[in-house]
Amino acid sequence: METNMGMPLITIDTFIEIIKRQLNEGNLRPVMGLGKGGIGKSESMEELARSLGIGYTDIRLLLYSETDLKGIPYPDEKHEKTIWLQNKILPDGKPVPDSDRDLTRGILVLDEITSCAKSVRTAAYQLLNERRLGEYVLPDGWLVVCLGNGEEDGGDFEGMEGNFANRGSMYRIEVDLESWKNWAISHGVNPLVVGYINFKSSDLHTYDPDSDDNYVFASPRSWKAVSDILNSPGCDITDAITRLRIAGNIGNVVASSFYAFCNYKKQTVSVEQILDNKLMFEPENTEIANITISSVVNVVTSELNREVEAHVEAYSDTVITHVINALNWFASLKAEWAIMAIKDLKRANITAVSQLLLNRDIQNSAPKFKIFFQKNAAVFK
């Protein structure tokens, strides 16, 4: 039976916000997040550090011994005292030439904290409690974040001592559809993958500790691998080798369901027909709706993000036209599909899309969306 071990249950987005807030406050009490493997705990910390322009160091504790962390002892010149030769894996807070990061601040991730040997966790006690390790001193602006798996999460769980956990704030990170979609859509995850998870969210993470078939399971990490396969040039999902590669990442059962879902793509129309307002397409079922919506969102967000990254003063007429036609089409769908589509469109670039949604000229040019927005304005705040 899965347990939260007395910890607050939060999403990965909330965990990121907690870390960000502590860094902004200068609150350097260590933070610990436990959750299932493959949900993006480590990746989210690296992305957060990059977005804040600060340092980042990730230490996979399972790969290190107590001596690796504390350093190698050797005598001083007079053979009267012991000096510790430090490993360079720990941050020193010094600037790096040609780096635009502020390395006086940063995130030090101690990963696989529940999988390493007890002696390694013991060595980390001092780092969490005193911000020291032997003669090493952690720079003042660096926050320690410990990550790991719980006992039922599918990782190599070696334990977690209460005294260790009490040295920081503890959280249980849950697999969450909304958080995953926020990340997936903004990172160009293939629309077939996004559409399928919209259709069958229970397959986002399928690890079952009580099942004999738990070696290959679907997770946000493995769905990213599937997306990379589908995004490769010339990929053909009907190809036998491609299907084997997909099944090798998410397992036979989920892969079979995913293939069946993808077969509905044959019944969709081209995204260009919708974005050029040449066809007001009505999906016949949920599968076709999810594939088409995800494909439209993928194209429009890619166009928006390219212009945002290019720092254009105003969006091009083509992009504005595509946004208007996409919104008009979304508003013609069933309410639940329309709300999902517009929310997904906002995920890739919340600021840019929100400005467009509130733009009166765009609303007037998309009359169906304008009526829909007025009826459902509260949903999009």
* 102 belongs to a structural domain: yes
Residue where the block lists tokens 């635009």: 100
Does residue 180 share a domain with residue 125?
Answer: no
| Contact between 287 and 199 (Cβ < 8 Å) | yes
Which of 120, 155, 174 is the last residue in one of the domains?
174
Does residue 193 share a domain with residue 250?
Answer: yes
* 360 belongs to a structural domain: yes
Strands 72-75 and 82-85: antiparallel
* 2 belongs to a structural domain: no
Does residue 165 share a domain with residue 137?
Answer: yes
Q: What is the pLDDT along the chain (381 residues), one digit of tens a residue?
A: 345 667 899 999 999 999 999 999 999 999 999 988 888 899 999 999 999 999 999 999 888 877 777 766 667 677 777 666 566 788 887 877 767 788 889 999 999 888 888 888 888 877 888 888 877 889 999 999 999 887 776 666 666 766 666 778 999 999 899 999 999 998 999 999 999 999 999 999 998 877 766 678 999 999 999 999 999 999 999 999 999 999 999 999 999 999 999 999 999 888 999 999 988 788 989 999 999 999 999 999 999 888 888 888 888 999 999 999 999 999 999 999 999 999 999 887 777 788 888 888 888 888 888 898 888 877 766
The two structure tokens encoding residue 49: 């550090």
Does residue 283 share a domain with residue 236?
Answer: no
| Contact between 90 and 139 (Cβ < 8 Å) | no
Does residue 202 share a domain with residue 149?
Answer: no
Which amino acid, 332? S
Q: Computed over its alpha carbons, how large is the radius of gyration of the chain?
A: 24
3-state secondary structure of 144: strand
Strands 54-60 and 169-173: unpaired
| Contact between 49 and 42 (Cβ < 8 Å) | no
* 27 belongs to a structural domain: yes
CA-wise closest residue to 42 among 54, 57, 21: 57
Does residue 147 share a domain with residue 47?
Answer: yes
Strands 31-35 and 132-133: unpaired
* 229 belongs to a structural domain: yes
* 13 belongs to a structural domain: yes
Which of 266, 285, 309 is the last residue in one of the domains?
266
Does residue 230 share a domain with residue 165?
Answer: no
Residue where the block lists tokens 């399971």: 217
Which of 251, 266, 281 is the last residue in one of the domains?
266
Distance CA 195, CA 222 (A): 16
3-state secondary structure of 57: strand
Strands 132-133 and 72-75: unpaired
Check residue 152 and report its DSSP letter.
Answer: T
Strands 169-173 and 9-10: parallel
Which residues are bridge partners to 83 per DSSP?
Answer: 74
Query: Domain of 154?
Result: 9-174
In total, how many domains does the chain have? 3
* 1 belongs to a structural domain: no
Does residue 336 share a domain with residue 198?
Answer: no
Does residue 315 share a domain with residue 278?
Answer: yes
3-state secondary structure of 231: helix
CB neighbour list of residue 154: distance below 8 Å, 6 or more residues apart: 36, 37, 207, 209, 214, 217
The two structure tokens encoding residue 131: 């911000």
CA-wise closest residue to 148 among 26, 30, 1, 18: 30
Length of the chain: 381
Does residue 69 share a domain with residue 119?
Answer: yes
Does residue 60 share a domain with residue 144?
Answer: yes
Does residue 87 share a domain with residue 137?
Answer: yes
* 122 belongs to a structural domain: yes
The CATH number that applies at residue 36 is 3.40.50.300
